[in-house]
Amino acid sequence: MKKIFVSALFSVITLSCSNTAMANNTAINETHLPKNIIMIIGDGMGPAFTTAYRYFNDNPSTVKIEETVFDRYLVGSSSTYPAPVSGYITDSAAAATAMATGVKTSNNSIAVDVDKKPLLTVLEWAKQQGKKTGVVVTSEINHSTPAAYLAHNENRRKYKEIADSYIDDGIKADIYLGGGRDYFIREDRNLVNEFKEAGFHYVDKYSDLKNMPENARVLGLFDKKALPWALDDSNKHRLSLMTKAAINQLENSQGYFMLIEASRIDLSGHARDISSAMAEMDDLAKTLEYLEDYVANNPDTLVVLTADHSTGGLSLGRKTGRDINKNIKSLFVWQPQILRAISISPKSFSDKFAQENLNIQQVNAVLNFTLSVDEMNLLVQAKQQGIKLLKDFEKLSTEQQKKRRRPSVSKPILVTIKNIIDVQTNTGWGTISNLGTHTAIDVPVFSFGSNSKIFTGFQDNTDIGKKIFTLLGDKD
């Protein structure tokens, strides 16, 4: 494996990103720079997701639609396009690199420029400035977004190599919380043991977060890959749980920089799964509400939240017919009340339905909303289709099977139950591929706390990184 050694390069990298003009006219208060900076990325969280969450979170017993924590701190928007070589639509790696370094790069690139040269990140700069640093994510901790702040690699999918770099290129964070255990405990190398040898306290259960040594450096890996859907997890608000635990360990006289990512919002967009999306958004909202109180008691802290891109082309509502009031010619409806009731992800439901012979009453109890007889028949047909596909596959020769992917009985069921939920709620997905894709639309920016006004208005995603460099004391 070819290692990328970046520490020797940083002394000659010019931090030109801090010398650019701000995207708005609000000046930085240089006499009161934030002691702590918390950067939050809602992966895939375009504006439709925060709007949907407002209606999902609404109390239907009141006339007013209550504002959410997102509404309270919306200050602007950001463009997300990558370097020209990759066109107009970014992936998570290029977008995270833009926000971590203030420099555009090509898709798939992790904190390297278009020429594959390493770029200094705001997390690395914060560490060089004497601050503690940490990452808290619901993906693997070596996935695209956290990696763009912690590593340098021309390919986001070199997960093992990126994990190795967390040791080989120097330990850059004091707290790592998220998933990805399979990349850190492997037959060829046990990185967990290496972190322990470097003085880290290791945890692999959420309950362990309550009993960590004071001021310890912590590595927490809570699943083999990404964390489960919030709907299925043992703690549906695990992002806020991990955030609280991380802050308790990071607080110190010099301050800290922390990256938080609500990673699975993006996966819900790719899966076109509105019920899982709202649960992931609720986890993020609870995290923001905690930070809202935290900043009230620690006004020298800055919180910035944005998305790397939007995923899935989410749309809310459709025309369903004429209203009972003859003066209203059409009725446009989105029905989030169904989503509020769901307590299991469509993926978990489809696995359960594939394995068990459930009748309509049992299905309604599992889903916690009511299916029609026709909808139940669609599920039964989907299961039969999955069984047939599997039987046909098993009839093939071993050589033929090697050339194909083994069918899953649950997959047609999953497609069907998500479609049923979309129809019942009137949710749409606007991308043309079978899976939800990234889109080129601008994303919202939220901020509160020390110097938060500098993120007001329209900006590019690189401006976010440039501003954070300046807030960290970059005077070059």
At 136-160, the pLDDT tens digits run: 999 999 999 999 999 999 999 999 9
**% the chain with pLDDT above 90:** 87
9: pLDDT strictly greater than 50: no
Q: What is the architecture of the domain spanning 7-313+436-471? A: 3-Layer(aba) Sandwich (3.40)
Query: With bands split at pLDDT 50, 70 and 90, how would you rate the model's confidence at 32?
Result: confident
Residue with tokens 């609870």: 286
pLDDT for position 15: 39
Q: What is the mean pLDDT of residues 237-261?
A: 98
- In sequence order, the 6+-apart residues with CB closer than 8 A to the CB of 18 are 102, 466, 469, 470, 474, 475, 476
Query: With bands split at pLDDT 50, 70 and 90, how would you rate the model's confidence at 249?
Result: very high
459 - beta bridge partners?
A: 78
Dist CA 173 CA 150 (whole Å):
8
6: pLDDT strictly greater than 70: no
Mean pLDDT, the chain, integer? 92
- In sequence order, the 6+-apart residues with CB closer than 8 A to the CB of 31 are none
13: pLDDT strictly greater than 50: no
Q: What is the mean pLDDT of residues 9-32?
A: 50
Does 335-425 match 7-313+436-471 at the fold level?
no
The answer to whether 297 touches 78, Cβ cutoff 8 Å, is: no
The answer to whether 410 touches 386, Cβ cutoff 8 Å, is: yes
Sign of the dihedral defined by the CA atoms of residues 464, 160, 229, 421, in that order? positive
Strands 36-42 vs 256-262: parallel, antiparallel or unpaired: parallel
Dist CA 179 CA 53 (whole Å):
25
Query: With bands split at pLDDT 50, 70 and 90, how would you rate the model's confidence at 436?
Result: confident
The answer to whether 104 touches 82, Cβ cutoff 8 Å, is: yes
pLDDT digits (tens, 9 = 90+) for 185-232: 999 999 999 999 999 999 999 999 999 999 999 999 999 999 999 999
439: pLDDT strictly greater than 60: yes
pLDDT for position 323: 59
pLDDT digits (tens, 9 = 90+) for 288-339: 999 999 999 999 999 999 999 999 999 998 877 655 566 666 678 899 999 9
pLDDT for position 321: 62
325: three-class secondary structure by DSSP: coil
Dist CA 80 CA 70 (whole Å):
20
101-to-111, 118, 227, 302, 312 alpha-carbon distances in Å: 7, 10, 27, 18, 26
Question: Tell me, which fold does domain 335-425 have in CATH?
Answer: Diphtheria Toxin Repressor; domain 2 (1.10.60)
Dist CA 315 CA 334 (whole Å):
10
Angle between helices 238-250 and 274-297 (to 10 degrees): 30
Count Cβ atoms below 10 Å from residue 88 Cβ, excluding itself.
11
Highest mean predicted confidence (pLDDT) among 245-254, 325-334, 427-436:
245-254
Query: With bands split at pLDDT 50, 70 and 90, how would you rate the model's confidence at 430?
Result: confident
The answer to whether 454 touches 467, Cβ cutoff 8 Å, is: yes
455: Cα separation from own chain's centroid:
21
Q: What is the mean pLDDT of residues 357-374?
A: 96
Count Cβ atoms below 10 Å from residue 278 Cβ, excluding itself.
26
Dist CA 234 CA 442 (whole Å):
34
Catalytically annotated residues? 92
What are the φ/ψ torsions at residue 457 (nearest 5 degrees)?
90, -170
Q: Which is nearest to 279 in space by CA: 232, 221, 226, 223?
A: 232
pLDDT for position 92: 98
Q: What is the mean pLDDT of residues 348-371?
A: 97
| 267, amino acid identity | L
pLDDT for position 368: 94
pLDDT for position 435: 76
Q: What is the mean pLDDT of residues 72-89?
A: 98
115: left (phi over 0), alpha (psi -120 to 50) or beta: alpha
77: three-class secondary structure by DSSP: strand
Q: Which residue has the higher pLDDT, 236 or 18?
A: 236
Q: What is the mean pLDDT of residues 271-279?
A: 97
Token pair in block for residue 61: 């017993």
pLDDT digits (tens, 9 = 90+) for 81-93: 999 999 999 999 9
Give the containing element (helix H, strand E) for 173. Answer: none
286: Cα separation from own chain's centroid:
14
pLDDT for position 22: 46
195-to-74, 82, 384, 410, 411 alpha-carbon distances in Å: 38, 34, 49, 39, 39
475: pLDDT strictly greater than 80: no
Q: What is the mean pLDDT of residues 94-114?
A: 98
Q: How do the domains of the chain map onto residue ranges?
A: 7-313+436-471, 335-425
Q: Which is nearest to 272 in space by CA: 228, 233, 313?
A: 313
